[in-house]
Amino acid sequence: MNRLTLDLWVGFFVAIGLASLGFLALKVGNLSGSSMSDTYRLEAKFDNIGGLKVRAPIKSAGVVVGRVAEIRFDSEGYVAVVRMQVDGRYKFPRDTFATILTSGLLGEQYVGFEVGGEQDVLKDGDVIKKTQSAVVLEKLISQFMFSKAAGDDAGKQ
């Protein structure tokens, strides 16, 4: 086994090894989509964040525009404070609605931005005033049962 053949085979091995790692990174994972260069901070308060986790996406019109950076509990107002990093390319008006939505029926939760019509945009460090908490399944069911029971009573009378 002379040096040339050896070097050739080792080079080939290292090349396909790195190529496979590259394949995994690009085709299997989402490397290309996770780079956001310039971001600015926004905060929002929710009564209930449901199953929202850090690094959950922030979507507007279905497109990912940012990520949840931190989730804190505000012990004075007893609400959840969510800090978000939003891509600098996108500006949102001051009356944007931040809702916690579920992807699919039982999927992961994310923050959805629905825009209003104001001229002024949110700047770094601003707080989003209008928020809608997550839908908690148990409350939905009990609401349904309650309204069904009320409906039956109304029907009977």
Residues that bind another protein (CB under 8 A): 1, 3, 6-7, 9-10, 12-14, 16-18, 20-21, 23-25, 27-31, 34, 53-55
Q: Which is nearer to another protein, 11 or 151 (CB)?
A: 11
- Least distance (Å) from another protein to the CB of residue 19? 8
DSSP E strands in 36-121: the ranges are 39-46, 57-60, 63-74, 79-87, 97-102, 109-114
Q: Which is nearer to another protein, 30 or 37 (CB)?
A: 30
Q: Which is nearer to another protein, 49 or 122 (CB)?
A: 49
d(CA 79, CA 75): 7
d(CA 48, CA 53): 12
- Least distance (Å) from another protein to the CB of residue 148? 28
- Least distance (Å) from another protein to the CB of residue 50? 16
Q: By C-alpha distance, which of 51, 53, 68, 78 is closest to 113?
A: 68
